[in-house]
Structure 1
Amino acid sequence: MDLRKEIIEELLKHSILVEPDVVDFIIERGGKDYLPHFIEEYRPLEVVTLSSLKKEKKASEKTVFSKPEPSEYEWDFKVLMGEAELKIKEGGIEDFRSLFLDRYKRLARILGTQTQLRGYTEISKLRGGEVKVIGMVDEIRITSRGSLIFTLEDPSGRVECYYPEGSFLLNDEVIGVVGNYSENNDRIYVKDILRPGVPIMKKNRKIAENISVAIISDTHIGSKMFLESRWKKFLEWLKRGKGDAAGIKYLLIGGDLVDGIGIYPNQEEELEILDIYNQYEKFAKYLEEVPDYIKIVMIPGNHDIVRNTEPQPVLPEEVRKMFNGNVEFLPNPGIFSIHGYKFLMYHGTS
């Protein structure tokens, strides 16, 4: 399409009429790159003439619209855990055992740093008296008096626990227990239950570049409930590069990129686009409007064209090739770093 025609059509979408010379003025200052700035500046005017332009240079004096500062920086993006690192398996018994064991070990390391649990004992080595144990919860029961009885398991063995004060526990939860162990009853009488915490970051890390990250999710392209007008406002905000948008260098999209097909009964009644590949084509077309200095990072969700079992692989190749080169495709979950900051992106299910 002719550049002049594209500019005029975009101005008409915002109810702005211009003289032919004003179109030349816009082209000289960067064309479509300058257009969002022009629309923001002159939106209040119904008709824009050369004489109404505010303190601008003459049209004959060519200037180039300057992009926001982040466009000057190189992308510093590294995949820390992609599809290869996830080691997607068949889901056999041994695979599940390995998963739960790995989860136990990771959480036990976190719990073991707490003062109350330092020097904790393996269940197989318990001796009478005060004990500290870390294990995975199983077989939860509540007595008529509200006390809690549950089994705690670690790689070395199992032990029954009794907590008279009661508490909220979940099966397969990894917790720390402090209490007294009775060898006669083979039971721990629990005084306190401890859970993994999130470490407090004392150091306020900063990077040299003046950049920021925008995070969105659940665009559900193809659904009749897709908020198209708000999406277009978001794209316009990104392209304008003003205010909070001025620092954006990365756009993270956390799954459910499209609405998909056959996700729930009678879904087709709520779909605007019935073909899932057409849904992705529409999404790719939308993302073409994102400024090219912004890197886009995407993971799938339960509505996307991947398996529901987690971890979910990246989108298939026939979908990936619809998108521009500034798009990174990761599995769900995906772990990556941006300028040294570590990100975990995950899409759950309800």
Structure 2
Amino acid sequence: MATGTGTGTGTDAAPAARLLAELPPSPAVWCSGLRKRYGRRTAVDGVSLSVARGEVVGLLGPNGAGKTSVIKMLLGLVRPSAGEVLLLGRAARDPRARARVGYLPELFRYQPWLTAAEVLDLHVRLSGVAVTDADRRGSLALVGLADRAGDRVGGFSKGMQQRLGLAVALVARPELVVLDEPTSALDPLGRADVRDLLLSLKQRRVAVLLNSHLIGEVERVCDRVVVLDRGRVAASGTLAELLGRRELRLRLGGVAAAAERRLAAAGRLTRSGDAFTVELSDDAGDAGSTAVPDLVADLVGLGVRVHAVEPGRITLEERLLDILRAGNGGEQR
């Protein structure tokens, strides 16, 4: 009996171990039902979201939507009134989880008498993570400050200080990076550098949660977007899901009633002179499918002169405005 029991345990344990090894890693960020009240004001109301390993998620919304409050609760800087948070599979209050997180706050100040290298040294000591001198130099090189390591921060421009903040966030080779408006003080070249940096983090399977008002940057680098409005999640999904609405812009001449009906049958139609925009129906297919050529052929058959056809999708900015207008039932906090 003892032998049988021992054999059974060993047999059961091996598949269990293999199953655990095959399970995907826990999300870099997971939160459920986050709420935060300041007196009578509810800043965050039931926010749930996740960020997978190697995923770049954008956090969008108007001023006062609760974005920074959510970030501070995720990082343990603000205690939530309700809800749960896990970072890298551990409770957010666990120092072992926070040790693997890099953070660039929206508002920060470094001691002006310190050099860039000394700022990095200070934050490495505070993190308690072992970081080699080569990695410290590499983080400055990564943000374009390799030749300014010995310069005092007091002489840095705001854009250079923001680059230094990025170096601080990345110096300990984190598994999760949280960036709150990382390009607000950067020129176009600096924003392009940050964009390339985020893509390189993604390739290294580093998760990124990005809060930015620069919607074009979010559209370029993010896999998914979470839109907050008045403390709640107003919309979330991949860019393909959020920008799924397809448009067809045409410049036409000789459009009679029959041709206009044919255009309207393809989707919601708007007209301004000889310019027509058709928001294609869900069953109209992609702009590259037969739906658009068939529409153009039908229009030509109806005597329409087709001067231009431009397929496209709505921008993230347009979609964001649609979401916020649809939910704008009161004053934003």
Sort the TM-score into its range (normalised by shorter chain): under 0.3
Q: Larger radius of gyration, structure 1 or 2?
A: 1
Taking structure 1 as the reference length, what is the TM-score of the superposition?
A: 0.23
Higher RCO (CA-CA < 8 Å; seq separation 6+): 2
Taking structure 2 as the reference length, what is the TM-score of the superposition?
A: 0.24
Q: Which of the pair is proportionally richer in helix?
A: 2
